Chains A and B, each alone.
Chain A
């Protein structure tokens, strides 16, 4: 589902002495099926931006179009709910939103709010629990008897069960250990590919942005600062450093290597494997041991 944002401005606490410009004239197109990473440090407007995409915040100026739905300043409430059905959002620490007696009921909460029948919602709950890698037995358990990592998966299943076309992830791996982080991110990438979703990932990790996204948006002080494919963005190290960000580790390493050899290294993929491959090219064939 295509997303188009034009001239979006948001003022917090408009009309009071505490008024603050959180977003300023943001325009952006995200074509259907894109995996977009939004980076920028705390307070750059990332969270404000994504909350507009499912109607949790209303624009002060400008419009947001998701598919054939357009939200403008002063839009109607009914429209907001329709928007929320299309756009699912996994907040930071999503396990903090669990509330129901059983995992099954909790996962069914979303679909039923959007008018699904009980059977359909239950079917969705079963499907999604398996999808996030949990055994179906947990469905009858209380979510509060699960481990932290399992709770997070349940919460994610609860958002997926609404079958959104667009999935927004607000630092979905915050607080997890490295292994848990990788499992969750791999899950989202697989979902994205299999279900043909549009995915928007808000992250502080340049590595995640580099490995998982096809496009990157850099926010700074409520405006779009840079936008493009990862290779384009990470070729601009100075611009990134100017706003307190940096390139991923792999790029940092390639840059160091480049400095030594004096030869530019081609950078289009940022996985560790591809970095190793690029460097090994400098070593000729056959391999070396010393």
Chain B
């Protein structure tokens, strides 16, 4: 798989803090994958997101995106066009006075010619299913709709990576589903790489790869199946467990012992049924 982002031995310290927020962290992000980064508040995951598109620069180490480095100010713009971030608060990232103007904002910054801009705005708004709202003002949109507009603004820039920085944490369940479905589609159909920083373990379970962070370092990384097998480690990272795992553990307490952990309800039901049939 092609490596899109390379983080090499990165440490980061905020000037006002005593401790390192990120300590000697290395990771790779591959083309087309959905990478979930989970961790307790203060584990450094949002700081990591900001390092990936040069909003913050590492205190030591290097961040490279498709062979551009964030250390070089001239390459920073290339990186920001390729790596879009959807932030947590839907209101505080909506710059334009209407959906159209907001999607245009990034394109204007990157100097896209007007005719092309109009075309890209149309297609990206359609891509996130907001066609009927092109003239709408932000205060008439729901949180989920605003986040979809933010996504449209990013895909109009033809990025290779979308970072969701807790982008669904302020949304209601419907808004959350809208946003995740939209990004999922982009990931599957257009091969856009997704890095999702999230508390939602049910979402992480469906990722291609999971990174668990604790105190500025990577605790473990692997497929959801590998990572969620290790409940002690998850609890150590201050995380909750996905539903099926919790239920599996509770079943063990009641004498129904399954060989391994199951990530989804479907799997768990099937495993139980097999167990019962063998009885």
Query: Which chain B residue has the least Cβ–Cβ distance from A257?
Result: B269
Interface string of A255-290 (1 = CB under 8 A from B): 011001100000000001101110110111111111
B235-264 vs A, Cβ < 8 Å mask (1 yes, 0 no):
000111001101100110111111100000
Q: How far is the CA of A269 from the CA of B204 in the complex (A)?
A: 28
> Nearest CB to that of B166 among chain A residues?
A175
Residues of chain B within 8 A of A257, CB atoms compared = 269, 272
Number of residues of chain B lying within 8 A (CB) of chain A:
37
| A177-B174 in contact (CB<8A) | no
Which residues of B lie under 8 Å from residue A180 when comparing CB positions? 41
Query: Is B110 an interface residue, CB under 8 A from the partner?
Result: no
The reply to whether the CB of A24 lies closer than 8 angstroms to some CB of chain B is no
A-chain residues with CB within 8 Å of residue B254 when the two chains form the complex: 276-277, 279-280, 287
- Partner pick for A283 among B169, B243, B246, B276, CB 8 A cutoff: B276
* Residue of A with least CB distance to B259: A290
Main secondary structure of the interface of B (DSSP, over half): helix
Cβ contact within 8 Å between A273 and B250: yes
Question: Interface size on A (CB < 8 Å)?
Answer: 38
Q: How distant is the Cα of A204 from the Cα of B175 in the complex, in angstroms? A: 11
The distance in angstroms between the C-alpha atoms of A286 and B279, with both chains bound, is: 12
With beta carbons under 8 angstroms apart, the residue of A179, A204, A289 that contacts B238 is A179
**Which chain B residues lie closer than 8 Å to A179 at the CB level?**
40, 238-240
A29 in contact (CB, < 8 A): no
Which residue of chain B has the shortest Cβ distance to A271 in the bound complex?
Answer: B250
In the complex, the answer to whether B279 meets A283 with C-beta atoms within 8 Å is: yes
**Which chain A residues (171-225) contact chain B, with CB distance < 8 Å?**
174-175, 177-180, 182, 204
Asked if A42 and B142 sit within 8 Å, CB to CB, the answer is: yes
Q: What's the minimum C-beta distance from B225 to chain A, rounded to whole angstroms?
A: 19
Check if A276 sits within 8 Å of B257, measured CB to CB.
Answer: no
Chain A residues within 8 Å of B255, by CB: 280, 283, 285-288
B259 partner residues in chain A, CB cutoff 8 A: 289-290
Jot down 9 A-B pairs with beta carbons below 8 A, ordered by A. A41-B174, A175-B170, A179-B240, A253-B247, A260-B273, A261-B273, A280-B255, A288-B275, A289-B259
Chain B residues within 8 Å of A, Cβ to Cβ: 40-41, 142, 169-170, 172-175, 199, 201, 238-240, 243-244, 246-247, 250-251, 253-259, 265-266, 268-269, 272-273, 275-276, 278-279
Chain A contacts to B: CB under 8 angstroms: 41-42, 147-149, 174-175, 177-180, 182, 204, 244, 249-250, 252-253, 256-257, 260-261, 272-273, 275-277, 279-280, 282-290
